[in-house]
Amino acid sequence: MTSSKLFEPLRLPNGAVIPNRIAKAAMEENLADADHAPGQALVRLYQCWAEGGAGLIITGNVMVDRHALTGPAGVVLEDDRHLGRFRLWADACRSRGAQAWMQINHPGRQVLAALGQPARGPSAVAVDIPGLSKAFAQPRALGEQEIEALIQRYAHTAALAERAGFTGVEVHAAHGYLFSQFLSPLTNRRSDRWGGSLENRAQILLRAVDAIRQRVASTFCVAVKLNSADFQRGGFDAEDAARVVEMLNAKAVDLVELSGGSYESPAMQGQTRDGSRLAREAYFLEFAERIGEVAHMPLMVTGGVRRKEVAERVVSDSVSVVGLATALAIEPTLPSQWKEGQDTEVKPIVVPWKNRALASLAVASVVKKQLGLLSQGKRSRPRVSPLMALIGNQLKSRRQAKRYRRWIGQA
């Protein structure tokens, strides 16, 4: 057995306790049932992670609006009609004592055209990925009343998550999704109170945190996932991130998770828009150390951690929690193995294609293949062909998109 700091409990500002410092970070599973609720596949998958020993389990994207999904077969929580299924999901996450947080999100402009729904963002700035831009719907700018309504949607979904038995929510303000779009001057070109200065651009996030806090118990955790930078010239950077964390210090925020990148610059997978390769493991750590100087709440860092010694280094100083994503898709029992003193490490998924956008999609497809296998009670197979995984995922996404369009039409 090990006495590593990784396995010490962490008390959060609201008094809640995470039993250890390893979090299962959010991944997009695209495994919702026909009602876009969590079915047996998701319950089985999360039971797997609960039994694997993570102290904090954060769900993949749960959407606050059925008309705005980050991808097909996404989970939607905007009313209580399927709350029983969400309770089963929360029960699975909590079955071995972990904290269970629902990540709540809106894609903003990052809506796939195949879903047949309008894209909305802070401004009418389209997603620009060479060779893939037509895959996304053309966005329009949100109106003032729509912004106010969206803030209330986040609060309502958080209240439903609490009713379902989750112990917290994580507000997604990273990876180029809606709140991240508001924070970035590249995608937020508004001249009203929601645009211009960083203080204005952060208002939608700050207001959403306040609205959530008003609807949930003080013992219910509220976290924020924030880009340490979006890795695009002229965009949201580490200095901006530090200032937003200072703004969040004044709110009842229990933890901030630091990540980075967007669809246009997928740094969360270890690469940036300009092609420079980031360190393969813990590549947001140096940003976290800078932001740790101003943060009053605990910080969590996610991104590329696959080895115990790296995880221990992450939580040794200004960072309180290490998030594992891809590593737990491949080896869900990694936390338990580390706790037992094993130094098990997970090999990285590397797709060395010249087209970085396609390589990024292939990596995501390989990961989703593993999630699908685990959700069926099978073992992961990380050495699958990236090309076959990509083709299979694209075909599956088409089927799921067709099912979604039918569902939204009936709704």
pLDDT digits (tens, 9 = 90+) for 161-208: 999 999 999 999 998 999 999 999 999 999 999 999 999 999 999 999
Is-contact 34 403, C-beta < 8 A? yes
**Whether the predicted pLDDT of 332 surpasses 70:** yes
Question: Where does the pLDDT of residue 272 fall: very low under 50, low under 70, confident under 90, or very high at 90 and above?
Answer: very low
Q: 10 Å Cβ neighbour count for 381?
A: 12
pLDDT (0 to 100) of residue 317: 79
pLDDT (0 to 100) of residue 351: 94
pLDDT (0 to 100) of residue 211: 98
What tokens does 4 get? 């590593």
The answer to whether position 209 is within a domain reads yes
CATH code for position 49: 3.20.20.70
Instruction: Give the residue-averaged pLDDT of 99-121.
Output: 97
The answer to whether position 377 is within a domain reads no
Can you tell me which residue has the tokens 């904090």? 56
Domain that holds residue 125: 5-347
What is the domain count for the chain? 1
pLDDT (0 to 100) of residue 229: 60
pLDDT (0 to 100) of residue 134: 87
Question: Where does the pLDDT of residue 280 fall: very low under 50, low under 70, confident under 90, or very high at 90 and above?
Answer: very low
The answer to whether position 77 is within a domain reads yes
The answer to whether position 295 is within a domain reads yes
Identify which has the larger pLDDT, 259 or 282.
Answer: 259
Q: What's the pLDDT tens digit per position in 220-252?
A: 999 999 987 655 666 788 889 999 999 999 999
The answer to whether position 219 is within a domain reads yes
Question: Where does the pLDDT of residue 30 fall: very low under 50, low under 70, confident under 90, or very high at 90 and above?
Answer: very high
φ and ψ of 217, to 5 deg: -70, 155
Pick left, alpha or beta for residue 282 (phi over 0 → left; psi -120 to 50 → alpha; otherwise beta).
left
pTM exceeds 0.95 for this model: no
CA angle 238, 241, 243 (to 5 degrees): 115
User: From CA 99, how far away is CA 16, in angstroms rounded?
Assistant: 9
**Whether the predicted pLDDT of 270 surpasses 70:** no
Identify which has the larger pLDDT, 317 or 250.
Answer: 250
The answer to whether position 371 is within a domain reads no
Question: Where does the pLDDT of residue 355 fall: very low under 50, low under 70, confident under 90, or very high at 90 and above?
Answer: confident
CA distances from 191 to 196, 226, 406 (A): 6, 23, 38
The answer to whether position 375 is within a domain reads no
pLDDT (0 to 100) of residue 261: 54
Amino acid residing at 328 = L
The answer to whether position 391 is within a domain reads no
**Whether the predicted pLDDT of 278 surpasses 50:** no
